[in-house]
């Protein structure tokens, strides 16, 4: 018979092991490396910033549909 605390312990153990295995697998596959081209990250950040400002202006004007469409 499984008690409540035993079940919670099993769940937490599974979550921790799953996270560690996922992180380890991504690290071994080389997926956790930063991109070589920093210019792409700068362009992406600028695009997100411009879109965020555009949405803020639309919301201030009361254009909720336009703000949602801009996203």
> How many angstroms separate the CA atoms of 71 and 59, rounded?
12
CB distance 70 to 56 below 8 Å: no
Cα angle for residues 47, 58, 54 (degrees, 5° grid)? 15
Domain ranges of the chain: 1-33, 35-71
17-52 pLDDT, tens digit each: 999 999 999 988 888 887 777 888 888 899 999 999
Q: Residue 25 has what pLDDT?
A: 92
1-20 pLDDT, tens digit each: 579 889 999 999 999 999 99
């Amino acid at each position: 018979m499984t008690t409540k605390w035993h079940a919670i312990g099993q769940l937490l153990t599974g979550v921790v092991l799953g996270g560690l295995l996922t992180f380890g697998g991504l690290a071994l596959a080389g997926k956790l490396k930063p991109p070589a081209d920093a210019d792409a990250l700068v362009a992406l950040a600028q695009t997100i910033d411009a879109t965020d400002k555009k949405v803020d202006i639309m919301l201030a004007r009361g254009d909720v549909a336009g703000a949602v469409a801009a996203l």
